[in-house]
Structure 1
Amino acid sequence: MRIAPLLCLAAALVASTSEAAVRYVIKNRRIEPNQTLAKALHDAQLPDAQVAAVISALEGVFDFRKSRVGDQLRLVMRDGELDFFDYRQSMVDEWQVRRDGEKYVGSKRAIEVEKQVAVVALEIQSSLYEAAVAAGEDPAIGMVLADVFAWDIDFYRDVRKGDTARALVEKFVSKGRLLRYGDVLAATYAGGLVGNKRVFRYVLPDGQPNFFNEEGASAKKTFLKTPLKYANITSRFGSRFHPVLQYLKAHNGVDYGTPIGTPVWAVADGTVTQAGYAGAAGNMVVIRHANGFETQYMHLSRFGEGVRVGARVRQKQVIALSGNTGRSTGPHLHFGLKRNGQYTNPLNQQFPRADPLPKELLPDFLAKAQELTGQMEAVSVAAVAGQATAMP
């Protein structure tokens, strides 16, 4: 398959010298489907010997198995021979091959990344996604907050217009552009339905981070509110008219409409008792939990790494990807919950919280929580002061 040029710069760059003009030609391409790096270089009309030289220079520097469709290539030709080659996957993943005399030398380009701590403030009018965009933030901040409040807030069902969220969060930036969000250090959520939530990140003596409220109680509960970060409930627990079987039938779970391939969480720690095809349920995972609880995840497209009968799984571990297998009318996840062998409604359960901070750690935690609160409030005060100064 031929490569479609990203930007066809056939125009030559000519540099005058005392002896003769040096002709440069720049070729920009992307990796196409079913195309290796070597084939991409051949299709860019690079001579066989120079293709071999580039591949050799990158051996041990770049893992060719990680070459992806859409990766960018740039070849700088000097008088018909390769002078410089650049391979870019992202803002922080870039490899180069430079000519050094009669040989070529490959290296990964060092990208300077700065870690900043900033406050993100969102006011929700319709969704967390749109609130992030309106605030000039990357929509990925919504996923970050969904992680933090996963035990208390279902970001599809519980969000109301006028809710606000604030987070003190790490940002990794390169050349002024956000690469990704890091750890959330503190976060608040004020909701019309869920009330006020405030959590702080605290690293325990064993090195494990966790979130606690301002009094040191764990933000973590024994069960998550949902097995998905975001999802639209398409069918609730109880009797319903079955869309395939065409008769009234008990619906022993909750259906979440979600695209195929959406990561599915284990809602609690447990042991896998079933992982395979189960007829009408399609690909299904069943997990046994403490205190007589069992959860079921149906119509999956794939199972998570290491998910098999007898495997231990952790809360928030991705156990599968959602799908459309079995007796299903469209892509969705069916989530079922049993207690002592009987189905129960997952949406009206009240699960206990995990253990609070040990008393001996409380003074240190409270001091750090106060410091984090001060950082969030300082930004608010500065913003208000700035607005007041700007008033006529």
Structure 2
Amino acid sequence: MSGFAFLSSTPGFAYAQSKQTQSSSQARNKITVQTTKQVGFKDKSAGSNSKTSSMSLNPSLFQHKAPDELMLDSDSNLDYRVAQGCLRRSLSEDNLPASVGIDNRQFSEFFKNQTKTFFDHMRGDCIPYAVAFGSRNRFDSLSIMNGPIQDSKTEVWTFTPSAVGGFLIQQDFLKDESKRLTEIRIPLRDVLYDPRKVSDQLPVELVWELNSLIKQIYPGENNSLENTNSVVRLIVDFGDREKWAQIWAAEIIDPATKEVYANAFWLERNDIPGGFFTGTGESLERSFWTNPLSYRRISRGVGMVRASSGKRSKAPATSVKPSPATPAPATKQRYRAHMGIDYSAPIGTPVFSVTNGRVAHIGYSGAFGNLIVLEHPGNYHTYYAHLSNYNVELELGNEVRRGLEVGYVGSTGRSTGPHLHFELRKNGIYVDPYAPKTQLDLWSMRDNESGQLTREILLLGSPIKHN
């Protein structure tokens, strides 16, 4: 970042770009200290198939309910989109809203009356902006920055419609963000293919998340970037004993030309799990919630599966002795609903938590075998079944972070071979995460969240070039 470095003000830990490896190692050690609130990592499975007593906070976790195909909150915004750029200052500053596509006379007047002080602090020859639109091209948020220079004087103003009418303004300063955040740059090829090198610079719980994130935003039309000098630029909060480490921004960039090939930003939420969105407003969360491990194939999805009754029908009475070629009486068949996704993988394959949560159940549970159930904000639960073993540090009630190894693939319980049985439930009802019509509030931008994304694009992203 030109002229300015993100720093962390965590007591006892000073992070700077020039000390990436040392600082990241310190942060990792701090994160993985076992406390009553958080759980660290274990790199290897204990490999045991022993049964443990069931430990659960909620017996209703095991009540099967019919799946819903569509789960959508009323304030989810499916048509959300973001545009960004840097307007030349030769354009009239008063007409900036119209110049970026906002057709709202009331807001234009409000903007003109409120921004005189902001434009007095302008620097450089263009005005960086990020603007978000909802359904029917409705204005959702606008963030502007006082010039394309990122340093201690950088400020970002974000405008959003108020729920009670009118508009709100939020002012943010880069110098405040830099006190808790660190910028790190890692070669793209290392992120994609060498997690051990990445773990030298990041807390281990972020390595799986970063690899999954970069694979999602990696531009398909330019699939040779890993053979160049491209780097992944990260803005990271290394956290402390009371707070998980978190990636707040990730970009694939050319360090020479400063071109940004792809990017993603983290949105923090209080009532449901947070999530990553691209700089154009596309949610990346569905992929995270459907990839709890590295699997060979999906061996079974949602539907009806055949289950043998184990009883054979009696042969009809006859005076004719059956010939040796006569087939044996057919086995009676019955069918049962299969709710969940089965991922085929070798025994011992690590299984990861798909998002932050709390251990609601850990132990042996009938057909599920060794089972872990995680509870997540918004009344979501995820199930990880047939495990060979658990992360030895996990206990009932522990908080876990996305990317934590919660267990290891096995074949315990009612299982025909090594695999992970994974379920996602909302309000106790099974949700098929692969169904095209399934659209959870987790995977869409809500109307009251757009301002957070547009401000992060300007505040944490690379400087935006001229339009």
TM bracket (short chain): 0.3 to 0.5
Structure scoring higher RCO (CA < 8 A, sep ≥ 6) equals 2
Task: Give TM-score, length-normalised by structure 1.
Answer: 0.43
Structure that is richer in strand per residue: 1
Given the two structures, how large is their TM-score scaled by the length of structure 2? 0.37
